Amino acid sequence: MKQSNPQLMSAPDKQISSARRLRGRWWIVFATACVTVVAAFWLTRNLSPENAYRRGRAALLTGDRETVLREAESLIQTPKYQSHGWLLKGLLLSRLGKLDQAITYLEKSAENESLAIEANTVAAQCLYQSGLYLQAIQASNRALERDERCVDARRWLAAAYYDLGAVTNAVEELERISVEAPADPRPTRLLGLIARDSESYPDAIQYYRESLTRDTNQPEVVAELAECLMKRNQPAEALVILGQCEPSAVVLTLTAECLSRVGRLKEAHDSLRNALRLEPQFFPAMLALGKLHLDQGNNSDALQVLTDAVRRNPNDSQAHFQLSQAMHRAGDKQGADRELQQMQEIQALEREFSSLHAAAAKEPNDAALRFRAGEVARQLGKLKLARLWYRAALAIDPSDIKSRSALHELDRST
């Protein structure tokens, strides 16, 4: 390359040299401008509230709490994007189980119309999980007012109604969920359970069948369907279905009951023995075996099995009744009378519980009724149910000291 000495350059040479210098600077300027533009573009893109929100959502999915929190805080500082930040924070807190705080943020974010559906739906979830069923219903309804096809909001609405004991409303919502989520087997299964509990076996059978059409791989639903068929006195059909299930204590006990109904007593006996081999303390099998012994005139065996059954579940009226029969046959009149007395006491509670349950379905805002249902459930040894009813009472009247202390006592004892 030819080197030139600037001092020796002529005027035209100087002009050429100056132009070259300028051109070199232009490239620097151009490059700088490009870098600036790219940087600006990159910065704009990455520092925009939308992107922060997007990153926050993505981090929520991956469980990256710090990122979610950082993006949420940055959004909360960004004018016009505060509600997005609150939503992110609410979603994160709800996942962390900090329900009270989550509800606060979610309710604030729900003021933004574009976020209201999701914010209310998740708020409904948090409220439901906090036992605030009435508020959960309100939040679900706020979401559904904006989008009646929001299936998740309807699920929380159904769950809240159900736990409040407003079964009729729950069924209505579940029916809609079943239509709006046609591949989901769960709503129809829950409808089946509700129908079974109220002894509407034809309805229960229909729901269970529908649930199994949506997902055939639900062994527990198959067993529930078989139980309903048996209750409908279709033991042969129930036996066919039970034959398709993995043998478990539940399945074997149901099978035994069906076999008894069709007069196959020996096989029923074997089935119950097998159930008790799988689960030696499985109460329904113990009770059924005791009854079978009584039917077959094996009174001493019946006495033994039923005594164990009563010990296992002292709150079951049937067990006391069957034991009283066995004792009476054995000539133990005093023992038989004692068992009958216990049976009657338990039955009185069962009748009261049944009435309270029916009344609760009609009176969705009666806290006292729910507290009493909790008390009766506790006396019947149904602690899960007792908790459920106490919580329902508190949902209606948070100042209900009796329910709160009963719940507290229950939690402490278990």
Using CB under 8 A, list all residues that contact another protein.
125, 128, 152, 155-156, 158-159, 162-163, 165, 167, 177, 186-187, 189-190, 193-194, 197-202, 231-233, 235, 260-263, 265, 291, 294-296, 317-318, 320-322, 324-325, 328-329, 333, 336-337, 340, 343, 347, 350-351, 353-354, 357-358, 382, 384-385, 388, 391
Q: Which is nearer to another protein, 263 or 314 (CB)?
A: 263
CB of 278 to another protein, least distance (A): 22
Cα pseudo-dihedral 191, 192, 198, 203, rounded to 10: 100
Cα–Cα distance for residue pair 195/181, rounded to 1 Å: 20
Q: Which is nearer to another protein, 74 or 121 (CB)?
A: 121
CB of 66 to another protein, least distance (A): 26
- Residue 298 CB-density burial (10 A; 0-12 exposed, 13-18 middle, 19+ buried): middle
Torsion sign across C-alpha atoms 327, 272, 350, 202: negative
CB of 82 to another protein, least distance (A): 29
Cα–Cα distance for residue pair 262/260, rounded to 1 Å: 5
CB of 56 to another protein, least distance (A): 22
Element (H, E) at 3: none
CB of 222 to another protein, least distance (A): 15
Residues 6+ apart with CB under 8 A from 136: 124, 125, 127, 128, 156, 157, 159, 160
3-class secondary structure, 69: helix
CB of 387 to another protein, least distance (A): 8
Nearest residue to 319 via CA among 327, 328, 307: 307
3-class secondary structure, 366: coil
CB of 171 to another protein, least distance (A): 12
Find the helix packing angle between 383-396 and 401-413, rounded to 10°: 150
Q: Which is nearer to another protein, 189 or 378 (CB)?
A: 189
Q: How many CB atoms lie within 10 A of CB 48?
A: 13
Q: Which is nearer to another protein, 105 or 201 (CB)?
A: 201
Q: Which is nearer to another protein, 75 or 327 (CB)?
A: 327
Q: Which is nearer to another protein, 167 or 250 (CB)?
A: 167
Q: Which is nearer to another protein, 79 or 97 (CB)?
A: 97
Q: How many CB atoms lie within 10 A of CB 214?
A: 18
